[in-house]
């Protein structure tokens, strides 16, 4: 017995070590960066953000929850454009300011301006895109500016870019106008030419930035009447007609090549925000007088530009994170300025249908604040 007991203890010890090793390996495997390969539904989010443990939370799936503690600032924020200050412009209801986005599988931390500025200390964050990205920039600046003393903040302008500076943090929150990302130039006879393979005139403003957030979709889907160009150009070839989604794919590919060739993922974070949905049907009246988010969709629709974007991101070497805000924002047809894009007198309010209705941009405070809460969580 005395001989077998040490042997049993030894064998038992070996078994315990083996068991710990096995369990250790399996739990390590669960945390490995490539476990996203099994998650086909959210493939682009995962593929492009392998280093980000938060990518396990799908921010794009959830519901809007009414929260009395919102909004996080008011429409007196001095950095808001008149067109988005719906309360100042006479909108009679304000519940649209009080909805908070709650993902199904996790929670988004409430935006903390000091924490955000601390993370961005000595850094530049730049939002690049169209007027809806400008909408988001104004939201982000208003979320932050309240904790910065009056004499320690300013806005500067440089070509198509503008920057809000929080001087004590040596931080700048910037916006750069490039709605198509690629170059739109005037040619002979003042014809507007969209160069699908040229980008440097816009991209020179993006160099040296620590966090880049892009969007580009709306201008590509404009109809022939409202199109911003007369010709497409690729190489030396000029085209009058092209499938808009083919052109979009070519333009995005030019952007993707620039990012792959010019940016270092160790120095720069790149996020691409998906398209903001419009509620423009019925000539823009689909969002007028709406006071609550939609409760559900009769059918889930994935916009074609989002499919094109996912295809381009999959082919990139650079780890771009796709921030999908399309579905969450599609619930919010109550969040647009509609006729309250300008100040309306008492008499004008009696006949609102005499005025055009904006169902593309967003009232602030409002929906873009939630995009920025997600952005802050990602960073």
DSSP type of residue 285: T
Instruction: Provide the token pair at 157.
Output: 């302008």
**Which run of H or E residues covers position 216?**
none
- Is the bond into 71 cis (omega within 30 degrees of 0)? yes
Contact 327, 247 (CB under 8 A): no
Alpha-carbon distance of 125 to 119, in angstroms, equals 11
* CA–CA dist 361, 130 (Å, integer): 11
Chain centre to alpha carbon of residue 283: 26
3-state secondary structure labels for all residues of 102-148 = EECCCCCCCCCHHHHHHHCCCCEEEEEECHHHHHHHHHHHHHHHCCC
Helices (H) and strands (E) in the chain, counts: 9, 13
Helix, strand, coil shares, percent, the chain, to 5: 40, 15, 45
Radius of gyration of the chain (CA): 24
- Distance between CA 100 and CA 335 in Å, rounded? 12
Collapse the DSSP code of 355 into the 3-class scheme (helix H, G, I; strand E, B; otherwise coil) and give the result.
Answer: coil
Residue for token digits 């931080």?
171
Q: Catalytic residue positions?
A: 131, 358, 361
């Amino acid at each position: 017995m005395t001989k077998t007991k040490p042997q049993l203890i030894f064998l038992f010890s070996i078994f315990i070590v083996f068991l710990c090793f096995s369990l250790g390996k399996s739990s390590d495997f669960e945390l490995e960066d490539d476990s996203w390969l099994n998650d086909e539904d959210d493939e682009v989010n995962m593929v492009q953000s392998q280093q980000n443990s938060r990518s396990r939370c799908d921010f794009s799936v959830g519901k809007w929850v009414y929260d009395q503690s919102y909004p996080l600032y008011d429409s007196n924020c001095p950095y808001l454009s008149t067109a988005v200050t719906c309360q100042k412009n006479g909108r009679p209801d304000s519940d649209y300011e009080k909805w908070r986005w709650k993902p199904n599988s996790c929670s988004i931390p409430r935006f903390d301006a000091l924490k955000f500025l601390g993370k961005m200390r000595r850094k530049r964050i730049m939002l690049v895109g169209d007027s809806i990205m400008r909408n988001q920039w104004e939201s982000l600046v208003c979320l932050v500016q309240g904790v910065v003393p009056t004499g320690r903040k300013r806005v500067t302008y440089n070509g198509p870019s503008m920057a809000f500076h929080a001087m004590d943090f040596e931080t700048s929150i910037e916006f750069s106008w490039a709605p198509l990302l690629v170059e739109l130039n005037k040619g002979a006879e003042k014809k507007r030419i969209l160069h699908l393979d040229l980008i440097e005139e816009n991209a020179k403003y993006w160099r040296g930035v620590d966090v880049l957030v892009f969007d580009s979709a709306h201008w590509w889907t404009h109809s022939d009447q409202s199109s911003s160009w007369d010709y497409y150009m690729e190489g030396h070839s000029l085209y009058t007609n092209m499938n808009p989604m083919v052109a979009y794919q070519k333009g995005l590919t030019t952007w993707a090549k620039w990012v792959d060739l010019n940016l270092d993922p160790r120095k720069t974070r790149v996020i691409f925000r998906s398209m903001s949905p419009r509620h423009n049907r019925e000539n823009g009246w689909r969002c007028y007088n709406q006071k609550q988010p939609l409760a559900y969709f009769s059918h889930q629709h994935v916009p074609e530009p989002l499919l094109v974007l996912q295809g381009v991101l999959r082919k990139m070497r650079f780890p771009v994170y796709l921030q999908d805000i399309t579905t969450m924002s599609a619930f919010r047809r109550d969040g647009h300025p509609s006729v309250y894009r300008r100040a309306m007198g008492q008499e004008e309010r009696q006949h609102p249908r005499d005025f055009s209705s904006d169902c593309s941009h967003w009232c602030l405070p409002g929906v873009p604040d939630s995009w920025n809460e997600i952005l802050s969580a990602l960073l």
